[in-house]
Amino acid sequence: MALKCAIIILAAGNSSRLGSPKQLLEVNGQKLLAHVVGQACMSKADDVYVVLGSSVDTLVSLVNSYDVKIIVNKEWEKGMGSSLKKGIIEVNKQSPYDAVIISVCDQPYLTSDIYNQLIDQTGPQKIIVSAYSDGHFGPPSLFRKSQFSQLLNINDGAGAKSVIKKYGGALGMVPFEKGDIDLDTKEDYNTYLNSSK
């Protein structure tokens, strides 16, 4: 039976290290947030939720042409954890999903195929993470329904990694070769642009 799965894209932060909204950076001829949302919408996921906060009016116009559910986190300054919990609360209200994928908005190499590989994992693992080529792992990560309550208990300033760490070697993994490349600073963006030429 197919897994009923939602993707929650966390895009509420104000990109303090970059100095302007990273969601608006140009990637492959489109804005970074539109790229990530578009890939999520092309995946096998049943629904896509986008959590916005800072610069919400500007960013809504980037995503309202997509078939997504927009969640506004007015308390986005409390941290990523507050946005993640807002997403889980909304997902719980909307539909009985078997799993959610927690995704971020600043991975320029993210594709629908990565999302689909997470959804297609049939092993017993409760959490499936993306394994990066630098040896680290992280988002996008899939959490089965039994983990939702743990996600709702994270600190506002923490991310999903605080739940992932409890599982150590019991994680499922899918390869995401350039998943370690995210655009947090101007240097990150310039490096990305130079490598994409």
* CATH (domain of 52): 3.90.550.10
Domain interval for residue 163:
5-195
Phi, psi of 112 (to 5 degrees): -60, -30
Residue 1 has pLDDT above 70, yes or no: no
Q: Which residues pair with 183 in a beta bridge?
A: none
pLDDT at 91: 93
Residue 78 has pLDDT above 80, yes or no: yes
Phi, psi of 168 (to 5 degrees): 45, -120
pLDDT at 124: 85
Mean pLDDT confidence for 23-45: 94
- C-alpha closest to that of 83 among 186, 137, 154, 149: 154
pLDDT over 90 for what percent of the chain?
64
pLDDT in tens, 91-112: 999 878 999 999 999 999 999 9
pLDDT at 139: 96
Q: Which residues pair with 142 in a beta bridge?
A: 101, 128
**118: confidence class by pLDDT, cuts 50, 70, 90:** very high
Ramachandran class of 147: left when φ > 0, alpha when ψ lies in -120 to 50, beta otherwise: alpha
Got the DSSP string for the chain?
----EEEEEEE----TTTTS-GGGSEETTEEHHHHHHHHHHTSS-SEEEEEEBTBHHHHHHHHTTSS-EEEE-TTGGG-HHHHHHHHHHHHHHH---SEEEEEES--TT--HHHHHHHHH--SS-SEEEEEPTTS-EEEEEEEEGGGHHHHTTS-TT--THHHHGGGGGG-EEEE-TTTT----SHHHHHHHHHHT-
Number of domains in the chain: 1
pLDDT in tens, 146-184: 999 999 999 998 889 889 888 877 899 999 999 999 898
**3: confidence class by pLDDT, cuts 50, 70, 90:** confident
